[in-house]
Amino acid sequence: MIIDPEGHELDALLARLPAVHQCSVVEVGCGDGRLTRRYSQHVGSVLAIDPGELAVAAFRSEGVPANVELRAIPIDRLELSDESVHVVLFSWAL
Amino acid sequence: MVHALNRAHRWLKPPSGRIIDLRPAHVVAEVELGLPDGSIAAVGGLVVGDERRQRHRAADLAVSAVVQRGTLTVSAEREFPFYRYANSADELREYIATKWQHTHLDAATEARAHEMMRANPGARLWLRERVAIRNLLPAVAS
């Protein structure tokens, strides 16, 4: 399968990121990292989470970009400080 | 889902922190064939189970709820087409079976795709979804 070779998804996402230096992103529902890999080079850091162990294992097996931290955890178990990130991306996850 | 949005809202760093909501705008994805002459032929829609339809509806309701409560506001909302290209109907069926829950390519649509591809050498098979993306910004208290 060839997925979104036109880059419509990436373009739409990049256009919605805030214009801040070293943008920090929490991605909810990263799955196998298909989208994470495409946008991570445009932001400062990504905390990519997914409740699916298999999906996270698939992501890890293909290599995780240096600025991405990957965790197999649902959003209700993720503990973060208030007012600590620039973007929470619900990636096909709501 | 409302709980997840409320948690995410707390994590946002002012003044420009935001939630980005990216997901299908319509619950049914369409199988289509791009013909060599540039025209597009409809093959059929995927079969979507009740659970996926309910989840889709619940996501819309969750966003509406946090907006109505004055927690978040919607901005920069748009839809775009999202394409997945397959070399064959078999590949498309297997991809959907592997990656999607509560959705499948039914036998009649798959057979139609096979036949249409056979009848139109050089045609391109794809799955098209309408996807929506929006920013959810913390509402400013007045």
Helix ranges restricted to H, B38-137: 50-68, 89-99, 107-119
Residue in chain B closest to A3 (alpha carbons) equals: B84
Domain coordinates in residue numbering, chain A: 40-72
Contact indicator for B112, B61 with CB cutoff of 8 Å: no
Chain B residues touching residue A18 (CB < 8 angstroms): 16-18
pLDDT digits (tens, 9 = 90+) for B24-72: 999 999 999 999 999 999 999 999 999 999 999 999 999 999 999 999 9
Size of interface A-B (CB pairs under 8 A): 112
A76 phi and psi angles, rounded to 5 deg:
-70, -10
**Overall domain count for chain B:** 1
Q: How confident is the model at residue B142 (pLDDT cuts 50, 70, 90)?
A: low
Nearest-by-Cβ selection for A86 from B4, B17, B76: B17
Complex-level ipTM: 0.96
Asked if B78 reaches chain A (Cβ–Cβ under 8 Å), the answer is yes
Chain B residues touching residue A28 (CB < 8 angstroms): 4, 8
Q: At residue B78, what is the residue type?
A: R
Task: Summarize the confidence of residues A56-81 as an average pLDDT.
Answer: 97
pTM for the model stands at 0.94
pLDDT digits (tens, 9 = 90+) for A13-38: 999 999 998 999 999 999 999 999 99
